[in-house]
């Protein structure tokens, strides 16, 4: 009688095991400040071992860095994809700001940790954090042909940094008060339009 085939052991995609820890950290950040989160909390939430954690991260700070870098990469890609580059510049700015606010509201714990915890980390760790993801998106959008031909002005790096610095401060204020950032979308858009037009 032929022997039944044994079920295949599922193979995790590359990075999936690592993302279990960053996902666990994001979940914990929704309820607890980063300094109070322990490696034990992380491995418990990820349902794995300390050994598994240290195979991927040197410290919980390195895990936070990975989470924030991943969030910036995926979030900036979402924002970029939300902007119609053939629309007038005002529409592009509106879409960009609205999409950014949507990204923040979808992952509020990540934004608050970025604002509150990163300044407290050691310099070598913060030096590696990519702060330019959204700045690069807005600069690329504002340098587009339709953006410029419809009267928009390309944003310098400094102006893009100031724009996103203001949006981050708005997000921090709203999230600390327990409000969705989207409650302030219209004011944020109008301010961004004034800023981009000047």
Extract the tokens encoding 83. 């902007």
CATH class of the structural domain 68-197: mainly alpha
> pTM for this structure?
0.85
The mean of the pLDDT values for the chain is 88
Residues with Cβ within 8 Å of residue 147, at least 6 apart in sequence: 85, 89, 92, 141, 154
Distances (CA, A) of 26 to 60, 96, 117: 12, 24, 13
Cα 39 to chain centroid, rounded = 23
pLDDT tens-digit profile of 36-91? 999 999 999 999 999 999 999 999 999 999 999 999 999 999 999 999 999 999 99
Query: Would you list the domain boundaries of the chain?
Result: 68-197
């Amino acid at each position: 009688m032929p022997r039944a085939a044994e079920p295949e052991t599922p193979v995790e995609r590359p990075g999936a095991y690592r993302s279990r820890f960053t996902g666990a950290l994001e979940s914990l950040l929704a309820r607890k400040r980063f300094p109070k989160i322990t490696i034990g909390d992380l491995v418990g939430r990820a349902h794995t071992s300390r050994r598994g954690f240290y195979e991927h991260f040197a410290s919980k700070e390195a895990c936070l860095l990975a989470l924030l870098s991943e969030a910036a990469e995926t979030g900036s890609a979402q924002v970029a994809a939300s902007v119609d580059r053939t629309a007038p510049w005002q529409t592009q700015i509106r879409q960009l700001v609205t999409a950014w606010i949507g990204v923040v509201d979808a992952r509020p714990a990540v934004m608050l940790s970025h604002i509150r915890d990163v300044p407290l980390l050691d310099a070598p760790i913060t030096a590696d954090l990519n702060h330019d993801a959204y700045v690069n998106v807005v600069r690329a959008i504002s340098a587009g042909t339709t953006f410029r031909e419809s009267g928009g002005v390309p944003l310098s790096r400094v102006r893009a940094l100031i724009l996103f610095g203001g949006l981050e401060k708005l997000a921090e204020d709203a999230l600390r008060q327990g409000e969705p950032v989207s409650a302030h979308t219209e004011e944020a858009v109008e301010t961004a339009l004034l800023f981009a037009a000047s």
